[in-house]
């Protein structure tokens, strides 16, 4: 999931396709930027610190995937019940993204980040020493609170730390932490679970979280709170036609991505015929490609934001269809999945960058709404893909993914066109 940032002004990119003055007019934007940008002791040190936090959050969220069996055995529950550890964290992430920051609206945003990191540490302790299923799930709920709260603020915070020109690069760095966690979470959990037990694996979050707090205290600048954010204000943003189209495109992109990617393992085992070792290498390659995509997209977005918004879902739709046609060929499938990883990770980076241009004065509200929509999209995409996988066959979630990504492409074209029209300079006679 990937979040939005603070409050960026004017044009932080010289994008030819969807640049110009932000909605609301140049004068307002210039003023907004000057008043909100915070001089940090080390802006990139702060960005790196937040990237570490995203890594820990995402790794914690998905670590149960590789630890379901030992968790279920020790807590005397089924593996299905243990699997709900991911569902409950997603639910609380949605709730917190919508309501959490409103409750903390009077706090300096630096303190809010510290609060969410402290909640992460408490969740690690609760899970590690959980005597029963209820306490275990409480710990997982706290992880969801930390995830939803931080991601809904992240873009707004980055916009107040770095300059407008560096914003795409900062978002990409943040997503780099997510991509790296996606690569390493499952194998790391499995390795640590075998080495020190599942409780020890979850406990690793505690010292890393404490180290993150110390680092945050050292490098994060003070960021006074702004206008309180309410659910009504978030929903009200959808009255902006351009923003509404962009959020719809984002939602469809994540639905399409997760309706397919959730079922890659059974596809690779049953259709491509890969053994466990080769399958692990292919999935590792997919994750590394995602890390590569996050590393480079920030530079491309500076001048080609609109083109990237359209090209990413279009390319992924084509890849989804090619996987149906070429899924039985191992080499072709491995190449296609490498490209899949390369093109999926930049999607949140691109849309967060776009959002910072379209609603520069409402990034906390927009970020909360975006996180809620993305979490919903992930859940719905995986659920719908699962129903189709069981009822119609392995190819059906791939076809659904292609269809949803095509819809995202069409909406992305509309969003880019609308943004370009909104930013077109007005000339007077």
What is the secondary structure of 111-133 as a DSSP string? HHHHHHHHHHHHHHHHHHT-SSH
Nearest to 116 by CA among 136, 138, 97: 97
CB atoms under 10 Å from CB of 137, counted, come to 22
State both tokens at 304. 């080609």
Q: Do the Cβ atoms of 123 and 139 come closer than 8 Å?
A: yes
Alpha-carbon torsion angle 391, 394, 398, 404, nearest 10? 10
Mean pLDDT of 255-269: 85
Stated length of the chain: 429
State both tokens at 151. 């991601």
Nearest to 170 by CA among 149, 155, 182, 148: 155
**Fold observed for domain 238-423:** Growth Hormone; Chain: A; (1.20.1250)
Nearest to 349 by CA among 309, 317, 406, 292: 309
Q: Do the Cβ atoms of 173 and 49 come closer than 8 Å?
A: no
Domain 38-226: CATH class, spelled out: mainly alpha
Q: What pLDDT was estimated at residue 29?
A: 37
Rounded CA separation 146/308 (Å): 30
Rounded CA separation 58/33 (Å): 30
Model pLDDT for residues 104-129, shown as the tens digit of each residue: 777 888 999 999 999 999 999 999 99
Nearest to 120 by CA among 143, 89, 104: 143
Q: What percent of the chain has pLDDT over 70?
A: 85
Tell the burial category of 66 from Cβ atoms under 10 Å away from its Cβ (0-12, 13-18, 19+): buried
- Secondary structure of residue 359 in the 3-state scheme: coil
Instruction: Say which residue, 60 or 338, is predicted with more confidence.
Output: 338
Q: What pLDDT was estimated at residue 34?
A: 38
Q: What pLDDT was estimated at residue 322?
A: 97
Mean pLDDT of 166-191: 78
Angle at 115 between CA 113 and CA 119, to 5 degrees: 115
Which helix (H) or strand (E) is 6 found in, with range? strand 5-6
The pLDDT mean for the chain works out to: 81
Q: Is the pLDDT of residue 149 over 50?
A: yes
CA dist list (Å): 40 to 37, 161, 224, 237, 312 = 9, 6, 13, 30, 33
Cross-strand partners of 156: 6
State both tokens at 374. 């993305």
Model pLDDT for residues 283-324, shown as the tens digit of each residue: 788 888 888 887 788 778 878 889 999 999 999 999 999 999
Chain region(s) in the chain for CATH 1.20.1250.20: 38-226, 238-423
Nearest to 341 by CA among 387, 291, 375, 389: 291
Q: Is the pLDDT of residue 10 over 50?
A: no
State both tokens at 380. 């719905």
State both tokens at 378. 């992930």
CB atoms under 10 Å from CB of 358, counted, come to 24
Residue 248 falls in which region: left (phi positive, over 0), alpha (psi -120 to 50) or beta:
alpha
Instruction: Say which residue, 244 or 419, is predicted with more confidence.
Output: 244
State both tokens at 366. 């927009």
CB atoms under 10 Å from CB of 377, counted, come to 22
Rounded CA separation 172/295 (Å): 6
Rounded CA separation 59/185 (Å): 5
Model pLDDT for residues 197-232, shown as the tens digit of each residue: 889 989 998 999 999 999 999 998 888 877 666 677
Rounded CA separation 85/137 (Å): 6
Instruction: Say which residue, 390 or 11, is predicted with more confidence.
Output: 390
Q: What pLDDT was estimated at residue 422?
A: 60
Model pLDDT for residues 362-418, shown as the tens digit of each residue: 887 888 888 888 888 887 887 888 888 888 888 999 999 999 999 999 999 999 888
Q: Is the pLDDT of residue 427 over 50?
A: no
Rounded CA separation 157/361 (Å): 12
Q: What pLDDT was estimated at residue 66?
A: 65
């Amino acid at each position: 999931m990937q979040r939005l940032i603070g409050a960026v002004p004017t044009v932080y990119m010289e994008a030819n396709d969807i640049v110009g003055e932000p909605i609301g007019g140049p004068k307002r934007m210039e003023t907004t930027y000057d008043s909100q940008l915070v001089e940090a002791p080390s802006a990139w040190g702060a960005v790196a610190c937040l990237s570490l936090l995203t890594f820990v959050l995402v790794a914690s969220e998905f670590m149960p995937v590789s630890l379901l069996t030992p968790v279920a055995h020790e807590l005397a529950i089924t593996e299905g019940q243990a699997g709900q550890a991911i569902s409950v964290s997603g639910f609380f992430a949605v709730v917190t993204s919508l309501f959490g920051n409103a409750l903390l609206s009077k706090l300096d945003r630096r303190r809010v980040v510290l609060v969410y990191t402290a909640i992460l540490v408490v969740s690690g302790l609760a899970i590690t020493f959980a005597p029963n299923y209820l306490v275990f799930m409480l710990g997982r709920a706290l992880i969801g609170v930390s995830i939803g709260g931080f991601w809904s603020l992240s873009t707004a915070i980055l916009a107040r730390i770095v300059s407008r020109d560096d914003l795409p690069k900062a978002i990409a760095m943040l997503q780099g932490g997510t991509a790296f966690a996606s690569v390493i979470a499952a194998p790391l959990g499995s390795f640590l679970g075998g080495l020190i037990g599942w409780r020890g694996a979850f406990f690793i979050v505690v010292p890393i979280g404490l180290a993150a707090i110390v680092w945050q205290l050292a490098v994060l600048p003070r960021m006074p709170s702004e206008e309180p954010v309410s659910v009504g204000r978030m929903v009200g943003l959808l009255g902006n036609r351009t923003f509404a189209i962009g959020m719809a495109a984002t939602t469809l992109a994540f639905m399409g991505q997760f309706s397919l990617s959730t079922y890659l393992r059974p596809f690779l085992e049953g259709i491509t015929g890969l053994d466990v070792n080769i399958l692990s290498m292919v999935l590792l390659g997919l994750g590394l490609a995602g890390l590569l995509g996050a590393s480079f997209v920030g530079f491309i977005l500076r001048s080609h934001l609109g083109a990237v918004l359209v090209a990413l879902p279009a390319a992924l739709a084509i890849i989804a269809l090619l996987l149906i046609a070429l899924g039985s060929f191992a080499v072709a499938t491995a190449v296609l999945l490498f490209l899949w990883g390369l093109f999926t990770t930049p999607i949140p980076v691109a849309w967060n960058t776009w959002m910072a241009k379209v609603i520069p004065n409402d990034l906390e509200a927009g970020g909360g709404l975006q996180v809620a929509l993305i979490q919903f999209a992930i859940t719905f995409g995986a659920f719908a893909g699962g129903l189709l996988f069981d009822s119609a066959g392995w190819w059906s979630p791939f076809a659904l993914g292609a269809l949803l990504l095509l819809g995202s492409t069409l909406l992305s074209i509309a969003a880019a066109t609308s943004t370009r029209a909104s930013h077109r300079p007005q000339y007077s006679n």
